[in-house]
């Protein structure tokens, strides 16, 4: 049935993603064009590369808005990419057309987060599961597939048996090496059998019984010495589809009797099972699971996760699991990629990534998850400051640097991390000109204070500095504040930049090619590795 499972020859990864990019453009309408407004790019996915080998599960984890769902959708060409390539089984997905594309759509399926909106409320679930079969004209029969029968006899001379096999049994029997084989047994019975009960795979005539192992229909007729056996599918395509839908529903843990019910009659977990049955209908090789359990309760989530594991083993599936839930990712993934603001910051086998996270973002993410244990209250969590920046205007260099607790100061500078963080936050505000000086002046005036430079600078220091700065830093910041009080923003920015510019903001870190564990962080750069790696090979903070 699967027309790709058989002919995969190479050991190359099933899915190869290279530099995948998806920008959404705002202010891109005709009116904007007429007004000559430049379109603004929202860089949802910005140059993402990874491989997924056949049979493995790659987990894609990140916070909301980091582009993980867009990545999954673009990869399956549910969104048109703005750059990069995806090869599926060696073929470029973005260049596929017509029949190639249709076959790709069969082999790669998507499971959505929300089982409430991904099923049509007006269609019974049995029909929902049958729908992809109808769209893709399942069952398929290949004209160049040969059909034959292996015949065993029991008490009947082999040469008396003539077997004819229908040409379309490859609808039901998976062909091997281009041949679909039916296994037929012809047996001599002691007495004439009652042909009362009808059974698809068994038929009798006089004292001769013929059976077929596969799910086919067999007919036998005796004509003197001759025994004619006839093997065929024996039922309509529609019937086959119904049977497959029923089989799928049973397989995902529902009852085939429920096929005529509507989605609203099912709970969230049951609907997600319907979604899974529907995705499996065409026997795909690859599934993108976008937050498959996020809408479900934890006890039901566990059922679905167990089901997904079973199905993967049974149907040789390859998964891309997208989730924000690290424990789900860890439970089911062989390898994990961590995304931040449209980029992959770390990718590694699950065990390595969770035991030994290299990127500060991964470390912070892991630390943030509350553990289900009574020891949790005593665990000290260093939380990340601030929010994820906007993907419209991501930070230069390393995108995580605005929140990173381990930003690398210039080599000549000896500074504690909290002080450096404070200075960097002030720089950020000055460079973006996001300090509301007029507001502060107004407030000072309201409180009856002077609005001169000295007062303004003191007020700014009070508001923006919450750590102890060394004298040098305090002076530099004060000079900068005096500059902006005189409306010399550029000079202030320049002044601080000259002193405090970090490699993290000038150079975008690349994924370091260290075996199968890669992380994009300057802490792992060759020249700084020596100072930052401790004996276990983990990265230590600069403290």
**Strand, coil or helix: what is 166?**
coil
**Strand 335-340, strand 83-88: pairing:** unpaired
Q: Which residue carries 């990718």 as its tokens? A: 347
**Strand, coil or helix: what is 459?**
helix
Least CB distance to other proteins at residue 165 (A): 41
Least CB distance to other proteins at residue 373 (A): 6
Give Cβ neighbours of residue 299 (< 8 Å, ≥ 6 apart): none
Nearer to other proteins, 364 or 523 (CB): 364
Nearer to other proteins, 131 or 334 (CB): 334
Supply angle C-alpha 515, 521, 526, rounded to 5.
65
Nearer to other proteins, 78 or 369 (CB): 369
Least CB distance to other proteins at residue 435 (A): 8
Nearer to other proteins, 121 or 439 (CB): 439
Token pair belonging to 228? 């004619």
DSSP state letter for 200: T
Least CB distance to other proteins at residue 471 (A): 25
Least CB distance to other proteins at residue 327 (A): 4
Polymer length of the chain: 543
Binding residues vs other proteins (CB under 8 A): 63-64, 267, 269-270, 297-303, 305-306, 309, 324, 326-328, 330-332, 350-351, 354, 364-374, 376-377, 381, 383-384, 387-388, 436, 439-440, 443, 446, 463
Least CB distance to other proteins at residue 224 (A): 52
Least CB distance to other proteins at residue 464 (A): 8
Nearer to other proteins, 172 or 345 (CB): 345
**Strand, coil or helix: what is 382?**
coil
Q: Which residues pair with 150 in a beta bridge?
A: 183
Nearer to other proteins, 183 or 356 (CB): 356
Token pair belonging to 46? 């910005």
Report CA dihedral (276, 279, 280, 284) to the nearest 10 degrees: -140
* Residue 124 to residue 7: CA distance in whole angstroms: 36
Nearer to other proteins, 371 or 535 (CB): 371
Supply angle C-alpha 68, 112, 174, rounded to 5.
110
Q: Please give the C-alpha separations between residue 235 and each of 240, 246, 257, 295, in angstroms, as whole numbers.
A: 7, 15, 20, 40
Token pair belonging to 336? 């994990």
* Residue 317 to residue 287: CA distance in whole angstroms: 7
Nearer to other proteins, 125 or 281 (CB): 125
Helix 237-251 vs helix 268-280: angle between axes, to the nearest 10 degrees? 130
Least CB distance to other proteins at residue 270 (A): 7
């Amino acid at each position: 049935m699967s027309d790709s499972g058989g002919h995969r020859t190479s050991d190359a990864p099933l899915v190869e993603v290279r530099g995948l990019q998806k920008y959404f453009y705002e202010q891109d309408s005709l009116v904007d064009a007429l007004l000559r407004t430049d379109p603004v790019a929202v860089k949802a996915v910005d140059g993402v590369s990874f491989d997924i080998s056949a049979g493995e599960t790659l987990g894609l984890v990140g916070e909301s808005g980091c582009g993980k769902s867009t990545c999954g959708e673009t990869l399956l060409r549910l969104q048109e990419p703005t750059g990069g390539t995806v090869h599926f089984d060696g073929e470029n997905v973005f260049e596929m057309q017509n029949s190639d594309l249709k076959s790709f759509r069969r082999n790669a399926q998507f499971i959505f987060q929300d089982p409430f909106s991904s099923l049509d409320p007006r269609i019974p679930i049995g029909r929902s599961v049958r729908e992809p079969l109808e769209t893709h004209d399942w069952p398929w029969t290949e004209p160049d597939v040969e059909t034959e029968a292996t015949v065993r006899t029991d008490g009947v001379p082999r040469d008396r048996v003539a077997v004819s096999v229908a040409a379309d049994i490859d609808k039901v029997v998976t062909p091997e090496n281009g041949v679909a084989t039916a296994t037929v047994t012809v047996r001599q019975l002691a007495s004439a059998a009652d042909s009362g009960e009808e059974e698809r795979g068994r038929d009798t005539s006089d004292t001769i019984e013929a059976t077929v192992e596969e799910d086919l229909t067999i007919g036998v007729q005796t004509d003197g010495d001759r025994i004619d056996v006839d093997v065929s599918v024996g039922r309509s395509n529609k019937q086959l589809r119904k049977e497959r839908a029923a089989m799928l529903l049973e397989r995902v843990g529902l009852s085939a009797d429920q096929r005529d019910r509507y989605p609203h009659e099912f709970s969230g977990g049951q609907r997600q099972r319907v979604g899974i049955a529907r995705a499996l209908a065409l026997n795909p090789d690859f599934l993108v699971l976008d937050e498959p359990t996020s809408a479900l309760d934890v006890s039901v989530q566990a059922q679905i996760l167990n089901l997904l594991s079973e199905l993967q083993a049974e149907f040789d599936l390859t998964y891309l699991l997208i989730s924000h839930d690290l424990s789900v990712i860890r439970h089911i993934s062989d390898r994990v990629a961590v995304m931040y603001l449209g980029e992959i910051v770390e990718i590694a086998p699950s065990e390595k990534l969770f035991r030994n996270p290299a990127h500060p973002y991964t470390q912070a993410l892991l630390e943030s998850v509350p553990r289900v244990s009574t020891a949790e209250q005593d665990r000290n969590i260093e939380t990340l400051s601030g929010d994820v920046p906007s993907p419209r205007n991501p930070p230069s260099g390393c995108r995580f640097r605005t929140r990173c607790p381990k930003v690398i100061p210039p080599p000549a500078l000896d500074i504690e991390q909290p002080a450096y963080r404070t200075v960097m936050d002030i720089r950020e505000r000055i460079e973006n000109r996001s300090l509301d000086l007029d507001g502060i002046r107004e407030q000072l005036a309201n409180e009856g204070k002077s609005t001169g430079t000295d007062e303004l600078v003191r007020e700014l220091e009070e508001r923006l500095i919450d750590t102890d700065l060394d004298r040098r830093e305090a002076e530099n910041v004060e000079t900068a504040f005096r500059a902006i009080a005189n409306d010399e923003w550029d000079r202030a920015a320049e002044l601080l930049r000259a002193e405090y510019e970090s490699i993290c903001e000038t150079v975008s870190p690349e994924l370091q090619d260290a075996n199968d564990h890669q992380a994009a962080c300057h802490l792992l750069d060759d020249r700084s590795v020596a100072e930052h790696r401790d004996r276990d090979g983990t990265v230590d903070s600069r403290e």
